Structure 1
Amino acid sequence: MRVRRLAAWTALPLAVTLGLVACGSGGGGSGGTDPNAAVRIEIAEPQHLVPTNTNETSGSQVLAALFSPLIGYDDASQAYEVAAESVTSEDNITWTIKLKDGYTFHNGEPVTADNYIDAWNYGAYAPNGQGASYFFEKIAGYEDLQGETPAAQTLSGLEKVDDLTFTVTLSAPYSDFRTMLGYNAFYPLPKAAFSEPGVLDEGYEKAPIGQGPFKMKGTWQHDARVEVERYDAFPGEQPKVAGVEFRIYQQPAAAYADVLSDNLDVIKVIPTESLSTAPTDLGDRFQTSPGSSFQFLSFPTYQEEFSNPDVRKAISMAIDREEITTAIFKDSQTPARSFISPVVAGYRENTIGDAGTFDPAKAKALYQSAGGPSQIEISYNGDGGHKDWVDATCNQLKANLDVACVGNAEPKFSDLLTKVKAEQPVGLFRMGWSMDYPSMENYLGPLYSSTGSANFYGYSNPEFDKLVAEGSAAATEEEAIAKYQQAEEVLAEDMPVIPLRFGQNVFGHSTKVTNVELDLFNRVDLLKIEAVQ
């Protein structure tokens, strides 16, 4: 389960149009700032704190404190070097990565090329069971590391040049490889992380050692907190706070109450039920900023009743996106009529055409002529705050298609995915996607390619696969975008999923902090946040 990418909560940040910008850092208390103070940030219990095994927002937030990425992204989603001095290629197959000098791990070890090679080999080796292993599939030799008894233990495409340089050879050209390197699966690991070569020490995850601006303070206190403190030997920009307590909450409502009473400094997601009152409750401490994900309804295309694209288009046309966005989400999200987030280069406003236009009469006629089923079920995870909008969607389908419609809540997101993967009958099922790195390919390949890691709908179109592959192998970003846009047009014809909503980061903070900003991945910028005296 890729929880960060496949978003479990309806309130997780969903991408907004580029016209929406952050409202600013918001006020705080009067007086100056205190660089010796720590701040308190809400997260859920992380699944893991090993970089190659972390696929969800809370773990990613903690790792962003402990590690510095090779590549970062600016406000325009353009990649730039952070821990890397340069990432270059002449053919998009062989890439040379030069590291900046002066980085050390929190235990004093110097950061070298070996630390990246060792970490990536560990992540790619199938018996290690790392959740982000698939990020290394583009590197030559990945297939040899798969299966119960792999033919090899290391990627043939990784080669050390010197202590600060290594090369990466891909199995096929990929123009976005440099951009991809901003994801946390590509962080390095120190020698101390391994009890022996290729074997992660059992105690490492309790107190991960990174090379970022903060180091662990104590150990991970499960279901309670993770604390970090400023690492003074960090060679990059130093944080403006002495430390961070990542406070673990089970219920968003409890975190929101603590922000209102100044017992918590940042809540990264305002609960849906508080959206209407939050602007008044928090004043200028109620914040919004662009996010990178979107919500959609998925079809089990392998089931006869949903195999006809016209049935799928008719259901899309019967949904009033504007009404639900306003009534349920208080306009904190934006109706979606494309498969690509607006924060990514190549986005176009309406790629699904008539299928995205609310037209009950036309939807009903098309649905009946296409032989749509008389009953529709929408499955969703009950732990994600989806009931209200699913019920509203069902009510619209009942009225506009003259069908029976019921919502089916699975206890957890993992329960829903288990049934979907087993192709058990669940009807339509909700999904949400948050990008790993800013590229159209990241919204297309994993979700809709025939072998996509998150293609749970049984969708397969050779023309789509060909266009995505051609985009990946393109020599320039412009050429890649042209191919990806053609692939999106194929999706619009087939409609394996219904785009519903783009969204944004909707968050709040206490009076004790200022300069609070969230990035496209719903992570607090830990180099900007300040504590108020």
Structure 2
Amino acid sequence: MSSRLLKLSAAALLGSVLFAGAPAFAETVLHRGNSGEPQTLDQAQTSINIEAFILKDLYEGLTIYDAAGKIIPGAAESWTLSDDGVTYTFKLRENAKWSDGSPVTAQDFEFSFKRVEDPKTAAKYANILYPIKNAEAINNGKAEIATLGVKAVDAKTFQITLERPTPFFLELLAHQTALPVSKASVEKNGADFVKPGVMVSNGAFKLISHVPNDSLVVEKNENHWDAANTKLDKVIFYPIDDQAASVRRFEAKEMDLAYNFSADQLERLRTSYKDQVHVSPTLATYYYVFDGSQAPYNDVRVRQALSMAVDRDFLAKEIYRGSQIPAYSLVPPGIATYGEPSKADFATLSQLDREDKALALMKDAGYGEGGKPLEIEIRYNTNPNHERVATAVADMWKNTFNAKVTMTNLDVSSHYAYLQEGGKFNVARAGWVADYADAENFLALNLSTNKTFNYGKYSNPEFDALMQKSYAEEKPEARSKLLHEAEALLSRDQPVAPLLTQADLWLVSNRVKGWEDNAANEHLSRFLSISE
């Protein structure tokens, strides 16, 4: 063999050895902390944001939020609105497919929306779609499902008719309750349609595995219409409600994202991780709710007194290190169509004056010093921040009213399940993040007809009537006035005690690209990438 051939053979052999020894193409994986175990992966049963983070990666609604938290087309590439503002006609993408390769059709959306409003489904968030014609009547068993204002005009044309013009309707369609299900899969698999290996989804990712309280894995859906622009191969969600453990895993570089870390770590983390620490103001309210179905919380004087005695400045500055602000209204500031919220009348008083007024109210109600003893149980979902708030509030009530206060905590899923199922309590911690930027989204929590989220069983016919008038009012200024009047009643009656206007706390690794803080707290994994 010639020397030239020997050199070529040696080079070829060396190349093959190097190629054989090279590592296989590495998967791009996002390790995403989630602050609890999801109760469900069924769109119709979802109720909390830790479920929404997962579901919105798996499924795609007619509209979605982009990385900046703005509404953009999702499964629908375009839509038109009738001149009277009540009929939307959506054109679905021709290349929109389910993860099994079958086409996403208008029939799937019609089936999905009817499934949510069917009383037999008992959807927790059915009210999200109440703007659709006959939705509320159907959900309350007063009309037939066939009368719901949704129609598959053809395979790729979906029409929705509303009860009345609803300016925030496109935002409602991006909510997890409005995510579609595969009609064929649900009819074939029943309740098992949510299981790994069975689930058929139309989002950027598909479900691969789910080990409760350990991890949930999704992989890139090659059949998604925009798969070419999805940079991640896999996302692993870790359901960690232990915030200290979540931070440790982030610091050990085991997780790229950590959600809702303990606020007492804020200064230390900012010193160590600088711009990887994100404090993002959001349309969200942290509140305590009173069970108005039992004494003494059915007495407005007791509710007012307990609310007044809470030093919100202390909670905001000392417990949350300034990352939250004191709240005296259920509706948070920053909603353009609403303006300044209607605050409780004690908001302008000093804390000492509030406490004096609270003592007088409690005495008038027959409780506290010289009256009946006051025993209070505070329920909250397991979380260091919530524990600190509960401990602080307990001390405030003990010091002000000589109350005997105990605390009970459950994991986040169990806590909210208990409240949503009508369990009895004294005082319970809750929080609400805007599903859409409108005051109605917060106020409607207290409608007597809201059996899922009206945890305290508040019932005020005057409040209900004002809310009903607001739904029929088309003039923005007149509608805002009605909503302010309704909130003024809540501020007077205090069925809930707003404590803080929230900010979202995230740890975001420098490896993560494409992240944008936004008030909607929407962070679809399809818009993120990893850079080593």
The answer to whether TM tops 0.5 is yes
The question of whether the paired residues in 1 share the 8 Å contact of 2:186 and 2:193 is answered with: no
1:133-172 alignment runs, 5 A limit: 133-140=126-133, 142=135, 154=146, 156-170=148-162
**How far 1:322 sits from its partner (Å)?**
0.8
- Is 1:109 the equivalent of 2:109? no
Letter in 2 for 1:241: L
Structure-2 residue corresponding to 1:200: 190
Match of 1:225 in 2: 215
Question: Which whole-Å CA distance do the structure 1 matches of 2:66 and 2:149 have between them?
Answer: 29
* Structure 1 residues 108 and 498: alpha-carbon distance in aligned structure 2, compared to 1, 3 A threshold: same
Q: Confirm whether residue 531 of structure 1 aligns to residue 530 of structure 2.
A: yes
Amino acid at match of 1:312: R
Please point out which of 271, 289, 297 is paired with 1:280. 271
Residue in structure 2 matching 1:320, options 311, 325, 335: 311
Which has a greater percent of helix? Answer: 2
- Cα distance, 1:320 vs structure 2: 1.3
Q: Tell me how far apart the structure 2 counterparts of residues 405 and 332 of structure 1 sit (CA, whole Å).
A: 30
Q: Which moved more, 1:344-353 or 1:414-423?
A: 414-423
Q: 2:331 aligns with which of 316, 325, 340?
A: 340
Say which of 28, 51, 60 aligns to 1:68.
Answer: 60
CA distance in 1, matches of 2:65, 2:507: 23
Worse-superposed segment, 339-348 or 482-491: 339-348
Within 5 A, what are the aligned runs for 1:432-447?
432-445=431-444, 447=445
Corresponding residue for residue 8 of structure 2: none
The one-letter amino acid of 1:249's match is I
Which of 205, 209, 213 is the equivalent residue of 1:214? 205
Is residue 2:291 matched to residue 1:296? no
Per the alignment, residue 461 of structure 2 pairs with 462
Instruction: State the SS of the aligned residue for 1:119.
Output: helix
- Alignment-mate amino acid for residue 387 of structure 2: K
Match of 1:330? Answer: 321
Write the mapping of 1:312-391 to structure 2, written as runs, cut at 5 A: 312-345=303-336, 346-348=338-340, 351-355=343-347, 357=349, 358=351, 359=353, 360-373=355-368, 374-381=373-380, 383-385=382-384, 386-391=386-391
- Name which of structure 1's ranges 129-138 and 467-476 shifts more when overlaid on structure 2: 129-138
| Structure-1 residue corresponding to 2:21 | none
Unaligned 5+ segments in structure 1 are 1-33
Cα 1:74–1:378 shift into 2, 3 Å: farther
Q: Secondary structure at the match of 1:220?
A: strand
Contact 1:57 1:522 in 2 (8 A): no
Cα distance in 2, alignment partners of residues 184 and 87 from structure 1: 22
Residue range with higher mean Cα deviation, 171-180 or 455-464: 171-180
Q: Distance in 1 between matches of 2:246 and 2:478?
A: 45
Q: Is the 8 A contact 1:74 1:80 kept in 2?
A: yes
Show CA shifts across 1:179-204 (max 9, x none).
Answer: 311111112223442344xx636254
Counterpart Cα distance in 2 of 1:307 and 1:201: 39
Residues 292-317 of structure 1 show CA distances to partners (whole Å, capped at 9, x for unaligned) of 32111222333343344343333322
Q: Assess if the C-alpha contact under 8 Å between 2:67 and 2:516 holds in 1.
A: no
Which segments of 5 or more consecutive residues in structure 2 lack a partner in the other structure? 1-24
The amino acid of 1:271's aligned partner reads S
**Deviations 1:102-134 (Å, cap 9, x if unpaired)?**
322222222221110112223333334544444
Answer with 131-140 or 53-62: which moved more: 131-140
- For 2:37 and 2:519, locate their aligned partners in 1 and report how far apart those are by CA, in whole Å: 21
- Give the conservation status (yes or no) of the 8 Å contact 1:376–1:427: no
Shift in Å, 1:37: 2.0
Where does residue 497 of structure 1 map in the other structure?
A: 496
Contact 1:35–1:241 (Cα < 8 Å) also in 2: no
Alpha-carbon distance in structure 1 between the residues aligned to 2:448 and 2:348: 24
Shift of 1:77: 7.0
Aligned residues: 493
1:125 equivalenced with 2:123 (yes/no): no
Give the aligned partner of residue 450 of structure 2.
Answer: 452
Aligned to 2:257: 266
